[in-house]
Amino acid sequence: MSDALRICLVGATGLVGGKVLEACVGREDVRIQAVARREANLPHGIRIEYFVADPCKWSEIFEALRPKAVICTLGTTWKKACEDEAAFRAVDQELVLNTAKAALDNGVERFVHVSSVGADPASKTFYLRVKGEVERDLTRLRFNRLDILRPGLLLGRRDNDRRTAERMGIAVSPIANLLMHGKYRQYRGIDAELVAKAAVSLAKRAARGRFVHDNDAIMRAAHSLPALVET
């Protein structure tokens, strides 16, 4: 695996992060690493360097690992943050940006961040305003390549914290998706597995620039990830 791309995942314990790990099982073109605050349930057969540490130590881990790319799937929910704005910002904004700065300081060239459809620093909705502020500040960090994913409603099984409104949204998603056309396509539900595959695919791209991907672009990126070769 000497020519494999070193990708460090931050946020392995979440829905998309877990799917990123699954997407890397059996791949010889990537060398997956992970940094987290706690242990995660690792998929069978994965080869990984997994480090559990306080976020204040993550910079040291980036320095030791020297990944080429970082995939950031960090995030909490309004419920987990106890409906406290400061607690929400501590994870979705401060931790994300501190992670990005630590990665950049240690030579990371590519940063892939999972944000949300509707992210806008001028939004009247607190959640979307924070997401937009994070996107804006990530752009200012000047990575060689920055990919921001803006998925619609994430579809996939969570072990916990499935909110009632979210469950209802997932239940009606197959029908709702059929009714969303034009500018509304970006709000369609999308499988977390596709978002994860897109993140891995984009982390492998060397072209410089800053790119924002809606649902359609995420699906194209996911389908561009080379399939595993059966042996």
Q: So which residues are the catalytic ones?
A: 127, 131
In degrees and rounded to multiples of 5, residue 45 shows phi and psi of 90, 0
Task: Encode burial over 93-107: b for 16+ CB neighbours within 10 A, e otherwise.
Answer: bebbbebbebbbebe
Cβ(200)–Cβ(189) below 8 Å = no
DSSP the chain: -TTSEEEEEE-TTSHHHHHHHHHHTT-SSEEEEEEESS---PPTT---EEEE--GGGHHHHHHHH--SEEEE-----TTTTTT-HHHHHIIIIIIHHHHHHHHHHTT--EEEEE--TT--TT-SSHHHHHHHHHHHHHHTT--SEEEEE--SSEES--SS---HHHHHHHHHHHHHHHH--GGGGGGS-EEHHHHHHHHHHHHT----EEEEE-HHHHHHHHHHSPPPPP-
Cβ(111)–Cβ(147) below 8 Å = yes
